[in-house]
Structure 1
Amino acid sequence: MATLQGQPVLILREGTERTRGKDAQTLNIMAAKVIAEAVRSTLGPRGMDKMLVDSLGDVVITNDGVTILKEMDVEHPAAKMIIEVAKTQEDEVGDGTTTAVVLAGEFLKKAEELLEQDIHSAIISSGYRLASEKAMEILNELAIPVSKDDDEMLKKIAMTAMTGKGAEVALDKLAEIAVRAVKSVAEEVNGEVEVDAEYIKIEKRQGGSIDETELIDGVVLDKEVVHPSMPKKVKDAKILLINSALEVKETETDAKIRITDPEMLQKFIEQEEKMLKDMVDKIVNAGANVVICQKGIDDLAQYYLAKAGVLAVRRVKKSDIEKLSKATGAKVLTELRDVKPEDLGAAELVEERKIGDEKMVFITGCKNPKAVTILIRGGTEHVVEEIARGIEDAIRVVECALEDGKVLAGGGAPEIDVSLKLKEWAPTLGGREQLAVEAFAKAMEIIPKTLAENAGLDPIDVLVELKSAHEKGNKYAGVNVETGKVEDMKENGVVEPLRVKTQAIASATEVAVMILRIDDVIAAKELSKEKDKGEGMEGMGDMGGMGGMGMM
């Protein structure tokens, strides 16, 4: 409220809450640190899992950073900004979500120490941006080139992404499946590899063991054959894909047909039957013995197709039709008027199989499948879901490695190298920015420190040993959580794509800078929920919605 000649002037609505200056920065940083702390214990191969329970009692058990953050019910706006970092990381590279969030939290924690020394947030932001750019240069120098034909290295990348995600039982096999799947859908365009992971379909079925997970060189449909009289197995399949219904079309305008005697009714029915018979004849004459339809198939059309020995599946998702087109080479038709033999796709085998309790249709043996399916098996639903998340991460990191052709050693090696080189570089800047660069460098140590903590090792000893190894010139030295020793991560096969690290650092820096620049938080009472005064966190919004954060 302002005053003019002694009269109060209301600028904001009565009851509006406002947090300004250092208080606003402190509360925002605290919210960000709470989020980072919530997922920190999940980082690395020895990271712990979180059990997330929603209001309906549904349970998700995972240590995948983005899954945890998406499921958490968060109120505070700064906390939501940190969660956006994880979502961006997931969309861009598919892995490294926990790393990005933990880094963002640590950048803000170190910035808070500088704010307490009366260093302006604009100077910290400027220093952080400079440090981030320099970190990118350092990471590019550290990068190890990888060839698209180096299956062994690609497999190691997939194994690194899946380690700690419940896939250890069959890690070797699952990594091989991920690499083969990505290489199947990879295409070379102007000398560069392009991968569209959309064409890798993941089907999940509980029952059986993780070892039974398999890669199918084609598409698996979560559907069954529409008519019991149809063949359940078709070899040397000629496949017709149609995205319209195999039914008699209704008139576009409202029309009434008056039928005055039974003979007319009979003619009407016969005409309808003839139209459906003609449709089926066109399909059969074109040489198709498998029909995959995006919409419905009339009961009578099903009967005629069954009589002609054609296997048909209806109400198949549009995305699956597109994958089938890519896998079998079939054109997707909207009309049956001019169906030709060259419009059909080919597969060695189309068959209905029973997997677990349900039937599925397998289209396999495609000559050059540019769409494949990974069928994931596991003892329980939670196991299957977690394996699927691990495989999705593996697919995305192999995709990044193929497209960029560059990888980094893991185990905290790049972070320590970046930290040491930034500390050397900071004094060359002059001015207060160098303090921010040093804080950034110190924050980078949080990754190896957390890896050590989560493995039950002494983080101080590990950091000292790591720095010593890097100063001696071993730039691939990282922490081996299995042995507790500092070892060459490149030799150990712990590698991850360069893009995972660069994206994590860039996103974490951006959000930290954005939060640091906020010095005023205005909230109207109607928008904010009731404050939890007992927690002494006024102005932060009700963070009780985060499941009480009991996990921390």
Structure 2
Amino acid sequence: MSMASRMQQPLYILSEDSDRTRGRAAQDSNVAAGKAVAEAVRTTLGPRGMDKMLVDSTGDVVVTNDGATILNEMDIDHPAAQMIVEVAESQEEVVGDGTTTAAVLVGELLARAEDLVDDDIHPTVIVEGYAEAARLANEAIEASVLDENLDDDLLASVAESSMTGKGTGDVAATHLAELVVQAVRAVEDADGEIRDRIHIHPRAGAASSATEVVDGVVVDEEPAHDGMPREVEDATVAILDAKLEVRQGDVDAEYSISSVEGLNAAIEAEDAELRGYAETLSEAGVDVLFCRKKIDDRVEGYLADAGILAFESVGSSDASEVARVTGAKRLGTLDDLEESDLGHVESISIERYGEDELAFIRGGDAAEAVTLFVRGTTEHVVDELERAMNDAVDVVVAALDDGGVVPGAGATEIAIAAHVRDASAGVEGRKQLAIEAFADAVDALPRTLAENTGADPIDTLVDLRALHDREGRAGVIAEGRTAHVGDPLEAGIVDPAAVKREAVESATEATTMILRIDDVISAE
């Protein structure tokens, strides 16, 4: 066989079932997928953002404005689109808010990159330009951080900015923001992570104005017996990880009882064992028992007679939370029960909400903890309020822990775009165009804010740039069904700097990863 004929033999390295997309076609597919995901959440951005209704295959409905929830609930198959979902998840995990901002920014960066590739600029050049622009963006964020002390009013503004537009209503958002700050302040001096000590317990059946801060924790548990007390003050608490019933042997055995006296003796021995559980707890001074396993009906009666409030089949997470709050140890047996095994709280009360009963555990000894008991008129409303409150707590903690706050309402994005655009003039080569494109992409965020409030996006962007040049600070202030350009600080609109930093960093990383792909090989 000649050399020429050997050269003409086709070489197959992929299976016939594989699908391969290369070069520009692969880039176009990935960019289109990224833009589509961003477009899905774009209209939720800002205080007048719209909600999405997500219905799964079983008919369950989620109505939400939260970017992370929307992207998680969507059934996304495209691998490049999945990367943007991961950006939102990372944003949510690190700072708790700004997921929509990050997703929209990825879409805009990809759209600008697509135009640059059309102009024959290599993706590697774009990647280098975007990396430099991200560094410049962080400089602008640091320069925008407010020097003011983080007092309660400023933190409430941070919380309110996070919640506005997420199903809370403007008036409710103000009230809920104050409760969030109250909860954070209650535990900020305690040892350990602030966020771990703040719990959110949603319950439908009342307006959001009924939301309250509970000094302690709330668990979905009801008394094991109707005769037990429904409120215990200055309570001593025990937590048991074992069943309270007649002990079973390790081997199968049969017992022969030949007389009534023998039967009565067996019953009395069994009864004495069950009564002994209640006596042991009572003698140790236990007022409230949380039992992870089943409690025999007779033991429940004896506990009720002894005035002990008991809960059975308590979930593991609830038991752990009660242990942490009260200082009680989780016990495998009631043998050798000592005072050091027990915990203490100011009060435990049972309160009824609709058909359910909840246990409110207030004022624990071992650890400070608070619960935001969130109310909403329906399950869908209270679910969205829960998401909004979680984000609000996260951003207040982020503001306290991670470097302060910056002006909101798009003002920081305008400052970023201006700084990046100014600095791009000093960059040589084609990378300058990528840096300018980054600034244009960031500009799209305040433009989208304006669009979602009903204002003209182009006119608003021009006005924002002009006011920023004059005053150094300009944002989109929602007003009724439209918006005006003004100082966000005067309107009390601020965001944690950490949210902006994370959005820029995660969006740039995801865009970079997508742009560097020029070959997609997928197996069936």
Q: TM-score over 0.5 for the alignment?
A: yes
Pairwise CA distance, 1:82: 0.8
Distance in 2 between the 1:101 and 1:61 partners?
Answer: 19
Distance in 1 between the 2:398 and 2:147 partners?
Answer: 13
Structure 2 residue aligned with 1:74, among 58, 73, 76?
Answer: 76
Secondary structure at 1:489's aligned position in 2? coil
**Are 1:30 and 2:32 an aligned pair?**
yes
CA contact (8 A) 2:328 2:344 kept: yes
Matched residue type, 2:405: V
Distance in 2 between the 1:129 and 1:268 partners?
Answer: 80
CA contact (8 A) 2:27 2:517 kept: yes
Structure 1 residue aligned with 2:478, among 477, 481, 487?
Answer: 481
Pairwise CA distance, 1:185: 3.0
CA contact (8 A) 1:147 1:402 kept: no
Indicate how the Cα distance of structure 1 residues 276 and 475 shifts in structure 2: closer, same or farther if over 3 A, else same: farther
Matched residue type, 2:83: M
Matched residue type, 1:205: R
Pairwise CA distance, 1:242: 2.5
Deviation per CA, 1:194-242, whole angstroms, max 9, x where unpaired? 5342333322222121111111111212121001111122222222222
Deviation per CA, 1:382-422, whole angstroms, max 9, x where unpaired? 11111111111111111111212411110111111111111
The residue number in structure 2 matching 1:283 is: 281
Distance in 1 between the 2:149 and 2:286 partners?
Answer: 41
CA contact (8 A) 2:21 2:521 kept: yes
Distance in 2 between the 1:428 and 1:267 partners?
Answer: 97
Distance in 2 between the 1:136 and 1:188 partners?
Answer: 32
Matched residue type, 1:279: Y
Distance in 2 between the 1:301 and 1:286 partners?
Answer: 16
CA contact (8 A) 1:478 1:489 kept: yes
CA contact (8 A) 1:327 1:372 kept: no
The residue number in structure 1 matching 2:258 is: 261
CA contact (8 A) 2:417 2:442 kept: yes
The residue number in structure 2 matching 1:162 is: 163
Distance in 2 between the 1:81 and 1:365 partners?
Answer: 44
Distance in 2 between the 1:180 and 1:272 partners?
Answer: 52
Pairwise CA distance, 1:464: 1.0
Pairwise CA distance, 1:484: 2.1
Matched residue type, 1:246: L
The residue number in structure 2 matching 1:499 is: 498
Pairwise CA distance, 1:100: 0.4
Matched residue type, 2:251: D
Distance in 1 between the 2:30 and 2:139 partners?
Answer: 30
More moved, 376-385 vs 39-48: 376-385
CA contact (8 A) 1:185 1:195 kept: no
Pairwise CA distance, 1:429: 2.5
The residue number in structure 2 matching 1:172 is: 174
The residue number in structure 2 matching 1:359 is: 357
CA contact (8 A) 1:166 1:387 kept: yes
Distance in 2 between the 1:250 and 1:85 partners?
Answer: 53
Distance in 2 between the 1:247 and 1:75 partners?
Answer: 51
Distance in 1 between the 2:272 and 2:185 partners?
Answer: 47
More moved, 330-339 vs 372-381: 330-339
More moved, 288-297 vs 497-506: 288-297
More moved, 283-292 vs 319-328: 319-328
Distance in 2 between the 1:507 and 1:46 partners?
Answer: 25
Distance in 2 between the 1:249 and 1:326 partners?
Answer: 29
CA contact (8 A) 2:288 2:308 kept: yes
Indicate how the Cα distance of structure 1 residues 111 and 98 shifts in structure 2: closer, same or farther if over 3 A, else same: same
Secondary structure at 1:224's aligned position in 2? coil
Pairwise CA distance, 1:288: 1.2
Deviation per CA, 1:126-157, whole angstroms, max 9, x where unpaired? 11111112211221121124646x11111111
Unaligned segments of structure 2, at least 5 residues:
none
CA contact (8 A) 2:242 2:292 kept: yes
CA contact (8 A) 2:26 2:518 kept: yes
The residue number in structure 2 matching 1:456 is: 454
The residue number in structure 2 matching 1:371 is: 369
More moved, 228-237 vs 107-116: 228-237
Indicate how the Cα distance of structure 1 residues 426 and 10 shifts in structure 2: closer, same or farther if over 3 A, else same: same
Pairwise CA distance, 1:462: 1.1
Matched residue type, 1:98: T
Distance in 2 between the 1:271 and 1:23 partners?
Answer: 81
Indicate how the Cα distance of structure 1 residues 117 and 227 shifts in structure 2: closer, same or farther if over 3 A, else same: same
The residue number in structure 2 matching 1:522 is: 521
**Are 1:293 and 2:291 an aligned pair?**
yes
**Are 1:391 and 2:389 an aligned pair?**
yes
**Are 1:433 and 2:435 an aligned pair?**
no
Matched residue type, 2:486: E
Deviation per CA, 1:488-520, whole angstroms, max 9, x where unpaired? 112221011111111111110000000000001
Matched residue type, 1:501: K
Distance in 2 between the 1:453 and 1:368 partners?
Answer: 50
Indicate how the Cα distance of structure 1 residues 244 and 133 shifts in structure 2: closer, same or farther if over 3 A, else same: farther
The residue number in structure 2 matching 1:509 is: 508
The residue number in structure 1 matching 2:154 is: 153
Distance in 2 between the 1:151 and 1:231 partners?
Answer: 39
Matched residue type, 1:84: E
Pairwise CA distance, 1:116: 0.8
**TM-score of the pair, normalised by structure 1:** 0.89
Matched residue type, 2:13: I
Secondary structure at 1:484's aligned position in 2? strand
Distance in 1 between the 2:149 and 2:236 partners?
Answer: 37
The residue number in structure 2 matching 1:218 is: 216
The residue number in structure 2 matching 1:132 is: 134
The residue number in structure 2 matching 1:52 is: 54
Secondary structure at 1:244's aligned position in 2? coil
Distance in 2 between the 1:367 and 1:173 partners?
Answer: 29
Secondary structure at 2:490's aligned position in 1? helix
More moved, 417-426 vs 396-405: 396-405
Structure 2 residue aligned with 1:111, among 103, 110, 113?
Answer: 113
Distance in 1 between the 2:75 and 2:214 partners?
Answer: 38
The residue number in structure 2 matching 1:535 is: none
Q: What root-mean-square deviation, in Å, do the aligned CA atoms of Structure 1 and Structure 2 show?
A: 2.0
Alignment of 1:262-341 (within 5 A): 262=259, 266-341=264-339
CA contact (8 A) 1:452 1:479 kept: yes
CA contact (8 A) 2:467 2:473 kept: no
Structure 2 residue aligned with 1:235, among 233, 236, 242?
Answer: 233
Secondary structure at 1:354's aligned position in 2? strand
Indicate how the Cα distance of structure 1 residues 4 and 198 shifts in structure 2: closer, same or farther if over 3 A, else same: farther
The residue number in structure 2 matching 1:418 is: 416
The residue number in structure 1 matching 2:199 is: 201
Identity %: 47
Pairwise CA distance, 1:325: 2.8
CA contact (8 A) 1:465 1:486 kept: yes
Secondary structure at 1:7's aligned position in 2? coil
CA contact (8 A) 1:305 1:311 kept: yes
Distance in 1 between the 2:175 and 2:314 partners?
Answer: 30
Distance in 1 between the 2:238 and 2:141 partners?
Answer: 50
Secondary structure at 1:445's aligned position in 2? helix
CA contact (8 A) 1:134 1:422 kept: yes
Distance in 1 between the 2:180 and 2:322 partners?
Answer: 20
Matched residue type, 2:515: L
